[in-house]
Structure 1
Amino acid sequence: MAKLLVSLTNIDVSFQQRQILQGVNLTLHQGEIVTLIGPNGAGKTTLVKLVLGLVDPGSGERFQLHNLRIGYMPQRLHIEPTFPLTVERFLALAGRYSTKEITAVLERVGVLRLQKSPVQKVSGGEMQRILLARGLLRKPQLMVLDEPVQGVDINGQKELYQLIKSIRNETGCGVLMVSHDLHLVMAATDRVVCLNRHICCSGSPSQISSHPEYLALFGEPEKELAVYTHHHDHKHGVDGKVINSKTL
């Protein structure tokens, strides 16, 4: 059985007499990708802070594996535009990591060529990969990814989700993702947790997509979203440049 990394049991959280979370139960295991979805104001940020150990529950219990290493990818990160900071230096600020370690994680996420570039000059998709690399430096047993594809186009989103899945397959780490990209993320996860201050429903993507509480919050996918699909005879890198092609 997969090792339990974090568990939350009957968690209640209130701020200024306003209940944010009620009766929340959540388990995160080694090797499993769990995606947390829910409308704005559902308590997703608070739940992530609970998983990270940054918020104490008002009631209930939180368990964490002893000496658990957690890698965190924030939803957004503001960097002062005039601050002279390369990608390599930005990653070095995350801890005592060698150039060799930084090079390895940048290569793993596909942006090694940006190592000496100013971090303020990278694109949105490139920055998301850099933030993912930052989390990977800790050699985490659990990755917590808050909106990992924010600001990335639809093709880039698919590639990032595939990258996250391949990292899970290689390392065996557990993954908790927060996402609003409901219909794309369903294919990139093992278990979906639908939150609206309490756990409305939880299960495999196929189970959740037909659950009445999910449908009440998000509607039926085929009625709410039309997906345009097409095929290329080539691929683009994260910078948009063609990296390979073939003759039709």
Structure 2
Amino acid sequence: MSLIAVENLSVRYGANTVLNHINLTVEPGEIVTIVGPNGSGKTSLFRAIIGAAQPSAGRITQRPGLRIGYVPQKLHIDPTLPMTVERFMRLMGPAGRKDCDQALATAGVPDIAMRQMSELSGGQFQRVMLARALINAPDVLLLDEATQGLDQPGSASFYRQIEAVRRDTNCAVLMISHELHVVMSASDRVICLNGHICCAGTPAVVASAPEYRALFGTGTGGALALYQHDHDHHHHDGDDHDHGHNGGARRTEAAE
């Protein structure tokens, strides 16, 4: 069965309907990206899925025993507070050193367990957040604009890591993002949201859909096609950091 199934979901705040008749599923091992303009209901949908917002109609079901890992948009840690990466990882619950090291390695930041959280770069910090979400071997990762504040090469590198995590753990991924040309190409399915589902399908199908172009224009179409070409022909299992930087440069040129 599906990991998550959203059926005929509506969410209202007072008289304002922010989501209307939403239907979607997340299947084992797939990457699903939700895109949409500001105010389109992306956050409300996410909050409903994780149980932080009450549906006004419809229902959301999860596979029994489903384990969810959550990577939030932002997390502020007082820079004057001494805290190692390993201690931060253990704040969520009991975890051994081996579990922490394994999760950090899967997230692409091995050997930093004893570093201070305040000393990490933005990209390292987000990968530690990813590692913390991975520590309980989740069936599905939920990412809420997890690259907020990173530059384009950093975002591209982070999403390469998400693809590697999916490959290595077969963990499904449901993510919300505004970085269309980076995220769509890393997705199996894309759902375009604007209070309702405007269009859904593979990245290529959604990028060419009139509803998508009405919301976002055609500028990302060329970038998407170029990124897919690069992704299909140059994907490798090596250091994704350099690959992300190169890919970011190419995508920037295409977007211009």
Q: Do the two structures share a fold, i.e. TM-score over 0.5? A: yes
Q: Indicate conservation of the 8 Å contact 1:183/1:221, yes or no.
A: no
Match of residue 128, structure 2, among 115, 127, 130: 130
Distance 1:108 1:223 in 2: 32
Match of residue 160, structure 1, among 158, 161, 169: 158
Q: Hey, which bits of structure 1, 4+ residues long, moved more than 3 A?
A: 222-229, 235-238
Change (3 A) 1:237 1:39: closer
Q: What residue is the counterpart of 1:77 in the other structure?
A: 75
Q: Indicate conservation of the 8 Å contact 1:5/1:28, yes or no.
A: yes
Give the secondary-structure state (helix, strand or coil) at the position aligned to 1:113.
Answer: coil
Q: Which amino acid aligns with 1:148?
A: A
Match of residue 196, structure 2, among 195, 198, 205: 198
Match of residue 16, structure 2, among 18, 27, 31: 18
Distance 1:15 1:165 in 2: 35
Superposition deviation, residue 225 in structure 1: 6.7
Superposition deviation, residue 185 in structure 1: 1.3
Q: What residue is the counterpart of 1:120 in the other structure?
A: 118
Q: Which amino acid aligns with 1:100?
A: K
Superposition deviation, residue 169 in structure 1: 1.7
Match of residue 51, structure 1, among 49, 52, 64: 49
Match of residue 175, structure 1, among 173, 196, 206: 173
Q: Indicate conservation of the 8 Å contact 2:181/2:220, yes or no.
A: no
Deviations 1:74-109 (A, max 9, x none): 000011222221111111001111111001111222
Change (3 A) 1:124 1:10: same
Q: CA RMSD in A?
A: 2.4
Which segment is superposed worse, 220-229 or 42-51? 220-229
Which segment is superposed worse, 148-157 or 113-122? 148-157
Q: Mark the runs of 5 or more structure 1 residues left unpaired by the alignment.
A: 230-234, 239-248
Distance 1:236 1:22 in 2: 39
* % identical aligned pairs: 44
Q: Which amino acid aligns with 2:200?
A: S
Which segment is superposed worse, 148-157 or 3-12? 148-157
Distance 1:210 1:202 in 2: 11
Q: Mark the runs of 5 or more structure 2 residues left unpaired by the alignment.
A: 231-238, 243-256
Superposition deviation, residue 153 in structure 1: 2.8
Change (3 A) 1:26 1:237: closer
1:95 aligns with 2:93: yes
Superposition deviation, residue 223 in structure 1: 7.9
Give the secondary-structure state (helix, strand or coil) at the position aligned to 2:21.
Answer: strand
Match of residue 109, structure 2, among 100, 108, 111: 111
Provide the aligned length of Structure 1 versus Structure 2: 233
